[in-house]
């Protein structure tokens, strides 16, 4: 048996003979590694998770043609620039006349994407029975004020633009709490047939962090010099503020938890080394040098911390995944790159925690310890 | 005898007891700090967001519809009904006055301006910037500066009793308007003190003090809409119920909950002929995000509590296992199991209460520090947290000790005293 094998055997035997003590030390290292993994995983993923939540806020960028309307090429360019990380909804507005001749704002937009973009709208089917009409009226989404004034029974009604007229049926009444509440939305084809107006505004929802949104705005501005590209500050400023504050709180809270748990672990580890003063004295009495004793204690600390770090990394990744799944409906994926810093940190902490009491023990004579002093 | 044993145990094993108290203190510090942060973060972020953007909109009840495209009001000038500015103070006298953080009234009209001899047409919007409103109990200052925190101004904000104004960034760029320029409107003069960037309709307008605009358009005491920033609770199924269909008892419970709908309902009761709506894009989505963040902190707190409970239990178990010889000695001197258990549990209880109190104090300080560094205000620690911490400390130490005590009792005293166990 060579020296390394002997050392390993001693370490394993020591761990096995004092199972309780080894288990306590292993448990404290595992707890530290678990919390470190949870904190680092949550901190690094919270931004992505919250940015995804901000999708629900709807359009965060408005692109407006400086003059006239967008042509098909320009709209295509906006869609290509935004790519798969966003949505584009072209819109056109006109002031039409209701049945009494009073003005009403009509907007042309694809109704299904409009509904998805404005997911906070509360959509209510109108009160009243649907009357079968021939030809069938054009489907419209109307704001609650339009419903009150022009369609109190949920009936279809006529709107006029110049010489042309169109019968619309309010398929849904939406509540937005904005100027949209006085508007009628219809699909682009009937809108264009009625008014001849093409889209001059595009509502754009870009997914990502505030910096990524800023970057996309720059790209859109460069691609469309004839259009004005503006962030909806009400949304982007709130997103940046929430992200910053939340990341700071998670960081501060995680730092507090990890530091305190580390202190707790160091106390446990130090205690367990101090309790082994008799082992220390026997080793010294049998002629072991300070270096040899240090090697044995450090070897034990390293062995326990490696096992604890691996167990903690697995447990921490599972807890982080659960936190993501329970709160955001989407688990936080394990980050293998965290294993090395967690293991390295655990080994260093365990070595610090076990070396400090050894210094104290070295100052006491082995005979004194064995006598029980 | 029991008290003496207890006293001697603490006197002779200072290091061991100090480790145990340290572990409990650290565990309870985590508990106090995390519970306090998790329970207060929702309110803190809500407060932060409310200074960023308003969440309620008040408009006059009218028979006709708003005709507004891109922030330009296309209704005829003599059309429409208005809200009385003098009535707005009632918003701050409601049952929910403490939840109302601020409001900003608006009056807008399309106007012709003269700039250096050339004429231009643009929407003129009147509002409060930071208007003092006399209240009996407090010095209340309200306006867009406190409710629309996302408005960015290059230059200086106008004061509410001046003839200074802001020009929207898009309008300034298009029509070449600069800071310091003077605009003439209906024989009055407006000096541009800053360029406004909102990412919304105001970017195309001139924004001036409300009283100036009321005079310019000859509408004294009139405002066309008001935005209100109110601290609310995220909407749930109960909040969405129709108040008209509620029994009086249910209505009372509903109206005493700070939902956006119930605050809107109480505003509409004090302001005649208005419609109060939640700005759903803000209210619904921010409520959703706040719930997610509170949920995240709650789960992190649970994970931290479990971790600290494990750490404290491990320390307690180790402390007792190291005292097997003491147990053996007591038993060989004739002590019964009950006496030994009660001695160890009393010790654990004292350690738990000591560590719990110290941990609570340290946790309060830490929570305070976190609040100050992130939000610039301290985090409130509810007194009930002390009870939770003490109960938690006792439960964790007893749980950690019980298994170890039971194990220590199972050893034969002779074997333990020989040092073989």
Q: What is the pLDDT of residues B152-183, one digit of tens each?
A: 999 999 999 999 999 999 899 988 999 999 99
Taking 90 as the threshold, does the pLDDT of residue A152 lie above it? no
Taking 90 as the threshold, does the pLDDT of residue A141 lie above it? yes
Q: What is the distance in angstroms between the Cα of B2 and the nearest Cα belonging to chain A?
A: 26
Q: What is the pLDDT of residue A240?
A: 86
Q: What is the pLDDT of residue B419?
A: 60
Q: Mean pLDDT over residues A261-289, rounded?
A: 75
Residue A105 contacts B, CB cutoff 8 Å: yes
Residue A278 tokens read as 């008799």
Interface test mutation site (partner A, options B293, B298, B363, B375, max chain A beta carbons within 10 A): B293
Q: What is the pLDDT of residue A319?
A: 92
Higher pLDDT: A115 or A8? It is A115
Q: Which residue has the tokens 């005590």?
A: B405
ipTM of the assembly? Answer: 0.78
Residue A145 contacts B, CB cutoff 8 Å: yes
**Cβ separation of B278 and A267 shorter than 8 Å?**
no
Please, which residues bridge with residue A158 across strands?
A167
Considering only the beta carbons, identify the residue of B16, B280, B370 that sits closest to A177.
B280
Q: What is the pLDDT of residue B416?
A: 67
Q: What is the pLDDT of residues A77-102, one digit of tens each?
A: 999 988 888 899 999 999 998 888 88
Residue B61 contacts A, CB cutoff 8 Å: no
Q: What is the pLDDT of residue B331?
A: 78
User: Which chain A residue lies closest to B314 (C-alpha atoms)?
Assistant: A24
Residues of chain A with Cβ-Cβ distance to B404 below 8 Å are 20
Residue B292 contacts A, CB cutoff 8 Å: yes
Taking 70 as the threshold, does the pLDDT of residue A331 lie above it? yes
Taking 70 as the threshold, does the pLDDT of residue A129 lie above it? no
**Cβ separation of A233 and B152 shorter than 8 Å?**
yes
Residues of chain B with Cβ-Cβ distance to A245 below 8 Å are 44-45, 48, 374-375
Residue A109 contacts B, CB cutoff 8 Å: no
* pTM confidence score: 0.77
Q: What is the pLDDT of residue A372?
A: 60
Q: By the 8 A CB rule, do A344 and A65 touch? A: no
In angstroms, the CA B187 to CA A211 distance is 46
Strand ranges (DSSP E) for B18-134?
56-60, 68-69, 72-73, 83-84, 100-115, 118-127, 131-134
- Average pLDDT of chain A is 84
- A8-17, A330-339, B200-209, B383-392 — which is least confidently predicted? A8-17
Q: What is the pLDDT of residue A1?
A: 65
Q: What is the distance in angstroms between the Cα of A155 and the nearest Cα belonging to chain B?
A: 18
Q: Mean pLDDT over residues A305-311, rounded?
A: 92
**Cβ separation of B295 and A327 shorter than 8 Å?**
yes
In angstroms, the CA B15 to CA A369 distance is 16
Q: By the 8 A CB rule, do A105 and A184 touch? A: yes
DSSP string across B19-80: HHHHHHHHHHHHHHHHHHHHHHHHHHHHHHHHHH---EEEEE--SSPP-EETTEE-S-TT--
User: Which chain B residue lies closest to A253 (C-alpha atoms)?
Assistant: B34
Q: By the 8 A CB rule, do A232 and A61 touch? A: yes
Taking only the tens of pLDDT, chain B with its 421 residues reads 777 877 777 777 777 788 788 888 888 888 898 888 888 888 888 877 777 778 899 988 876 777 777 666 666 555 568 899 999 999 988 888 888 889 999 998 888 888 888 888 888 999 999 999 888 777 889 999 988 888 999 999 999 999 999 999 989 998 899 999 999 988 888 999 999 998 888 898 999 999 999 998 888 999 988 999 998 888 888 888 888 888 889 988 988 888 888 999 899 888 888 889 888 878 778 888 888 888 888 888 888 888 878 877 777 777 777 777 777 788 788 777 888 888 888 888 998 999 999 999 999 998 888 888 888 888 888 888 899 899 988 988 888 788 777 777 777 777 766 665 5
Q: What is the pLDDT of residue B98?
A: 86
- Average pLDDT of chain B is 85
Please, which residues bridge with residue B369 across strands?
none
């Amino acid at each position: 048996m060579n020296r390394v094998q002997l050392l390993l055997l001693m370490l394993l035997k020591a761990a096995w003979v004092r199972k309780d003590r080894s288990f306590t030390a292993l448990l404290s290292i595992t707890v530290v590694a678990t919390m470190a993994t949870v904190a680092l995983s949550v901190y690094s993923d919270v931004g992505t998770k919250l940015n995804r939540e901000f999708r629900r806020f709807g359009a965060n960028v408005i692109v407006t043609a400086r003059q006239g309307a967008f042509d098909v090429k320009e709209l295509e360019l906006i869609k290509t620039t935004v790519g798969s990380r966003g949505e584009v909804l072209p819109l056109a507005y006109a002031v039409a006349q209701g049945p009494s001749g009073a003005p009403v704002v009509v907007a042309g937009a694809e109704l299904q994407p409009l509904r998805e973009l404005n997911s906070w709208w509360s959509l209510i089917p109108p009160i009243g029975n649907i009357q079968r009409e021939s030809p069938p009226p054009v489907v419209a989404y109307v704001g609650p004020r339009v419903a009150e004034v022009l369609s109190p029974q949920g009936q279809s009604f006529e709107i006029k633009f110049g010489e042309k007229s169109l019968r619309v049926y309010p398929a849904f009444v939406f509540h937005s709490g904005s100027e949209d509440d006085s508007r009628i939305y219809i699909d682009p084809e009937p809108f264009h047939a009625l008014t001849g107006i093409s889209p001059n505004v595009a509502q754009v929802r870009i997914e990502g962090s505030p910096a990524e949104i800023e970057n996309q705005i720059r790209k859109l501005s460069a691609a469309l010099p004839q259009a004005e590209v503006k962030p909806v500050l009400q949304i982007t400023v709130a997103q940046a503020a929430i992200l910053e504050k939340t990341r700071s709180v998670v960081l501060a809270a995680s730092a507090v938890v990890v530091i305190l748990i580390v202190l707790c672990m160091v106390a446990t580890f130090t205690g367990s080394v101090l309790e082994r003063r008799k082992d220390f004295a026997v080793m010294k009495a049998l002629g072991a040098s300070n270096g040899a004793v240090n090697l044995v204690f450090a070897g034990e600390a390293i062995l326990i911390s490696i096992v604890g770090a691996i167990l903690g990394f697995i447990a921490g990744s599972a807890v982080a995944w659960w936190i993501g799944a329970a709160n955001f409906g989407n688990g936080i994926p394990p980050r293998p790159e965290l294993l090395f810093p967690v293991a390295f940190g655990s080994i260093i902490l365990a070595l610090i925690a076990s070396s400090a009491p050894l210094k104290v023990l070295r100052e006491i004579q082995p005979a004194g310890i064995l006598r029980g002093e | 005898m029991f008290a003496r044993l207890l006293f001697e145990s603490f006197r002779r094993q200072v290091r061991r007891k100090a480790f145990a108290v340290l572990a409990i203190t650290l565990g309870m510090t985590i508990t106090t700090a995390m519970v306090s942060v998790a329970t207060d973060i929702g309110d803190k972020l809500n407060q932060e967001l409310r200074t960023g953007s308003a969440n309620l909109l008040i408009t006059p009840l009218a028979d006709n519809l708003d005709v507004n495209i891109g922030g330009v009001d296309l209704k005829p000038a003599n059309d429409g009904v208005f809200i009385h500015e003098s009535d707005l103070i009632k918003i701050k006298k409601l049952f929910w006055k403490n939840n109302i953080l601020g409001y900003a009234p608006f009056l807008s009209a399309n106007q012709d301006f003269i700039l250096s001899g050339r004429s231009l047409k643009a929407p003129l919007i009147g509002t409060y910037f930071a208007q003092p409103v006399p209240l009996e109990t407090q010095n209340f200052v309200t306006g867009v500066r406190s409710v629309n925190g996302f408005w960015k101004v290059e230059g200086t904000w106008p004061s509410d009793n001046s003839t200074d104004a802001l020009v929207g960034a898009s309008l300034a760029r298009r029509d070449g308007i600069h800071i310091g320029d003077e605009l003439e409107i209906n024989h009055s003069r407006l000096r541009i003190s800053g360029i406004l960037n909102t990412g919304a309709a105001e970017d195309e307008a001139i924004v001036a003090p409300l009283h100036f605009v009321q005079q310019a358009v000859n509408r004294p005491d009139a405002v066309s809409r008001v935005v209100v920033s109110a601290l609310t609770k995220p909407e749930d199924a109960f909040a969405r119920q129709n108040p008209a269909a509620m029994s009086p008892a249910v209505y009372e419970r509903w109206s005493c909950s700070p939902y956006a709908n119930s605050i809107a309902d109480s505003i509409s009761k004090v302001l005649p002929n208005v419609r109060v709506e939640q700005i759903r894009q803000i209210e619904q989505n921010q409520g959703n995000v706040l719930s997610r963040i509170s949920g995240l902190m709650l789960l992190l707190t649970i994970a931290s509590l479990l971790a600290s409970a494990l750490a404290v239990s491990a320390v307690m178990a180790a402390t007792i296992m190291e005292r097997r010889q003491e147990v053996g000695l007591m038993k060989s001197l004739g002590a019964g199991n009950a006496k030994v258990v009660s001695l160890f549990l009393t010790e654990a209880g004292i350690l738990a209460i000591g560590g719990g109190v110290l941990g609570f104090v340290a946790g309060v300080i830490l929570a305070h520090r976190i609040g100050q560094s992130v939000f610039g205000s301290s985090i409130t620690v509810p007194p009930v947290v002390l009870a939770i911490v003490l109960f938690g400390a006792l439960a964790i130490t007893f749980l950690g000790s019980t298994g170890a005590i039971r194990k220590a009792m199972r050893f034969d005293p002779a074997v333990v005293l020989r040092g073989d166990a």
